[in-house]
Amino acid sequence: MTVTSNLTRREMSQHAYEHLLFHFARNGDFGSDGDGLIVLSRGEGPYVFDIEGERYFDALSSLFCAQIGYSYGEEMAAAATSQFSELAFNTNWGTAHPPAIELATRLAGLAPGELNKVFFTSGGSESVEAAWKIVRQYHLANGQPERMKVIARSRAFHGVTLGALALTGVPTFKEPFGDPAIPTRHVSWTNQFRSVRSLSGTALTGALLAEIEDVIEEEGTETVAAIIAEPVQNAGGCLTPPPGYWQGLREIADRHGIVLIADEVITAFGRLGHWFGSERYEVEPDVITVAKGLTSAYLPMGAVLVADRIAQPLYEQGRTLLHGITFGGHPVAASVALKNIEIFQRDNVLENVLALEPFLQARLSELLDVPIVADVRGAGFFWAFELCSDDRGTRFSPEQRERLLRQFLPRRLRESHLIARADDRGDAVLQIAPPLISDRRQLDDMAGTLESVLRDASRFMHVRG
Ligand SMILES: Cc1ncc(COP(=O)(O)O)c(C=O)c1O
């Protein structure tokens, strides 16, 4: 069947309903009449347009990807076209090509400390799995084959392919698919709004780190391969670390011979105002996983950045890296990633985030006046509102969350021409992550729209101030 672009929205929706399986969505919800579906066909700056020309502010950057927004298509296309005419494809399987070599060199230069080796993938889940395999080979080469286990954090999302899924801490995503491929223990997240034993600051840090120590002791130090964590955890709503948390993870990992992995699939490439979120928290992980913002999603690509020390055994005589992905390091994607980095530097993308973060934080914090908003948290251009049924932080029931997060908010956001994420991991959260090129006026407008949506949500859910 040929797809023609002159279909009406209703026809598009019908075709989608008949043929397109949506990811992490209730496929039946969109209905054959296609009423619930937004079909996007164009982008410009931080905005996307549907096929009827309606404009939406993309306050989610197309799932935390569109760092530089949507107006660099021609420049990206020129980089891609030039690479297509030179060498459309070849692999990193024992041969190499200039874009992959140049990109690996650029990333090594941008990454903190000794993270000088780069393994390319096609996306985030692949990066997480590749990271674990590289870590395993490190331990095997060091004569520690029993180091298999990973410590991850509860409710964290690290991807859905079977290895990455084992590290993901969301039981409903895992249970249908059998035993986890990687033995994993999940420890408490860094939720400071609903913190462990209501602790805060360094007392909370101490409790969280003590829990990790206890888990390591229970499992046996000699069996733990890695600790994996996001600098700011996405799932649960932009959970920033309490003071000294990352330094504590670093110290624990060093003391026990455990590899520290920062999963930066969301937090790298400016989301927190730095190339890597780890920089913001002044930690040097052993391994960093990236994807999404590496190309600002102009093409799919991911990478694993590995410290020299961890990669060293892979350079020993006769040892093979037992992992490979056909499209990892695709030359056209690598050219686009290089262009993305060039644009970041030329157009001061990181500087924009750092300059506007105080304004964004202050503007969003004003929404704490809205009855349903119990907490506003985040960093950089990565923020969440926790929504509660009263000012004591009482959670909505599952039925209320269904009405609020799956019915009211998606509809009301759509009417307001704002794309944001209403998320339900037990706590009701509304998340935003605008493109990093958004200016002050656009962020201000976004906050104004959010305020009116959330005031309506307060009334809808009968929450009083
Ligand atoms: C922190 C983190 N790790 C891994 C992944 C998986 O990435 P992908 O969907 O590209 O496989 C995601 C996806 O959102 C993520 O947020």
Higher per-residue pLDDT: 30 or 225:
225
Give the pairing type, strands 287-290 and 259-263.
parallel
- pLDDT tens profile 42-80: 999 999 999 999 999 999 999 999 999 999 999 999 999
Q: What are the phi and psi torsion angles at 376 (to 5°)?
A: -125, 125
Matching residue, tokens 């809808």:
460
Q: What percent of the chain has pLDDT over 90?
A: 92
C-beta of 237 in contact with ligand 1 (< 6 A): no
In whole angstroms, give the CA distance from residue 420 to residue 432: 5
Atom of ligand 1 at shortest distance to CA of 291? Answer: 10
C-beta of 234 in contact with ligand 1 (< 6 A): yes
Res. 36 pLDDT band, cuts 50 70 90 = confident
Atom of ligand 1 at shortest distance to CA of 289? Answer: 3
Q: What is the 200 CA–ligand 1 centroid distance (Å)?
A: 29
- pLDDT tens profile 346-363: 999 999 999 999 999 999
Residue 296 confidence (pLDDT): 98
Q: For the residues 407-416, what does the mean pLDDT come to?
A: 96
Q: What is the DSSP string of 92-153?
A: SSS---HHHHHHHHHHHHHSSTTEEEEEEESSHHHHHHHHHHHHHHHHHHTT-TT--EEEEE
Q: For the residues 224-244, what does the mean pLDDT come to?
A: 98
- pLDDT tens profile 251-261: 999 999 999 99
Q: Share the mean pLDDT of the chain.
A: 96
DSSP state of 294: G
Q: Give the start-to-end residue ranges of the domains of the chain.
A: 91-346
Q: For the residues 243-257, what does the mean pLDDT come to?
A: 98
What sign for the dihedral angle of Cα 453, 454, 460, 465?
Answer: negative
- pLDDT tens profile 7-32: 888 888 889 999 999 999 989 887 76
Which of these CATH numbers, 1.20.1730.10, 3.40.309.10, 3.50.50.60, 3.40.640.10, describes 91-346?
Answer: 3.40.640.10
Enumerate residues 6+ apart whose C-beta is below 8 A from 158: 124, 125, 128, 152, 164, 165, 167, 168, 228, 263
Q: What is the 52 CA–ligand 1 centroid distance (Å)?
A: 31
Q: Which of 62, 158, 238 to mutate to test the pocket of ligand 1 (most atoms within 8 A of CB)?
A: 158
Q: What percent of the chain has pLDDT over 70?
A: 98
Q: For the residues 73-102, what does the mean pLDDT come to?
A: 97
Q: For the residues 313-324, what does the mean pLDDT come to?
A: 96
Res. 209 pLDDT band, cuts 50 70 90 = very high
Res. 332 pLDDT band, cuts 50 70 90 = very high
Residue 317 has pLDDT above 70, yes or no: yes
Residue 2 has pLDDT above 60, yes or no: no
